[in-house]
Amino acid sequence: MPELPEVETIKNELAPWVVGQSFTRVTILDDKLVCGGSAQKVRRGLVEQKIESLERRGKYLIFHLSNGGSLLIHLRMTGSLLLDPKEVDRYARAVFHLSNGHRFVFNDRRRLGVMWLVDDAETVVCKLGPEPLDRSFTTDVLLQRLSRHHIPIKAVLLDQHIVAGVGNMYADEALFAARVHPLSKADELSTKEVRTLHNCIRRILRAAIDSKGASVDTYVRPGGERGTAHFNFKVAHRGGEPCPICVCPIERCVVQNRGTYFCPRCQPLVPVL
DNA sequence: CTTGGGACCTGGCTGC
DNA sequence: TGCAGCCAGGTCCCAA
């Protein structure tokens, strides 16, 4: 499941092959891939456009084009971008041919991924919350945003309008590292807890980028390699295993329809004073 | 405004 | 061995 570290890795590893190149041919194999416009319009709009830069915003990948427009891609659950794959398999939804002779393929087993071709990228990403790794994302920013929500902190971390880029896996990891129970109400966390959580979110996302993302399911990097961040997971997807701190079995519960893993002893609902 | 619940999508797993 | 039914979760949409 591509979250911020996975999308950042894809951006970093794809950029050297695509930035400065133009699209020579684009094949869209699945009309439902395109959001707000026809596949044909996107195909025609992309050909001969040069990719000026590649950017990540939240879980979105943004190709900035020479005409000022942007191609945005969201991989959702099972999407991946593969550089020069040996074969274009049945899960390919679009193929992008570049002026340097390379191509990349939008693969997506569950077909939940989407892409947009727009004049201004902001029209797609304008509602997103702050970038957690930005300098401007301070403890105070997080504190202020949490204070407006009387719902479980886990649900708040998953809301892209509040903080952009954190998904199910890294929310669980950040809450464990901060020793905060996922069902704690966001507006009831102490200033100290929010400060710790703020640090943990940033530390865990950075570490995951260093590990090239987490391949718990279908995520692969453009070259087909897997990331290794999941080997460092303490609780995410580790239900029943002993907590690495206290050996108490990791529990699983459901928050906002998301499988949520936590240590009941290290993350008490009522803080131990 | 905030909050909760359903829809989307399909491979893989469980249980009969 | 076959198959129905459920689960995974990022995001949007709608209702209260």
Nearest protein residue to nucleotide B10 (CA to C1' distance) is: A110
Q: How many CB atoms lie within 10 A of CB A254?
A: 8
From its phi and psi, is residue A35 left (phi > 0), alpha (psi between -120 and 50) or beta? beta
Q: CA A5 – C1' B10 distance (Å)?
A: 25
pLDDT of residue A32: 86
Looking at the annotation, which residues of A are catalytic? 2-3, 59, 258
| Mean of per-residue pLDDT scores for chain A | 92
Q: CA A136 – C1' B4 distance (Å)?
A: 31
Give the span between the Cα atoms of A18 and A1, in whole angstroms: 23
Average of per-residue pLDDT across A116-140:
93
pLDDT of residue A127: 87
Model pLDDT for residues A176-230, shown as the tens digit of each residue: 999 999 999 999 999 999 999 999 999 999 999 999 999 888 899 999 999 999 9
Letter for the amino acid at A161?
Answer: H
User: Which nucleotides in chain C lie closer than 7 A to a protein CB?
Assistant: 7-12
Model pLDDT for residues A56-96, shown as the tens digit of each residue: 999 999 999 999 999 999 999 899 999 999 989 889 999 99
In this prediction the pTM is 0.95
pLDDT of residue A271: 57
Q: CA A220 – C1' B11 distance (Å)?
A: 17
Residues 218-247 of A with CB under 7 A from strand C: 237
Residue A216 beta carbon within 7 A of nucleic strand B: no
Confidence check: pLDDT of A114 > 90: yes
Average of per-residue pLDDT across A89-112:
94
Helix (H, G, I), strand (E, B), or coil: what is residue A53? Answer: strand
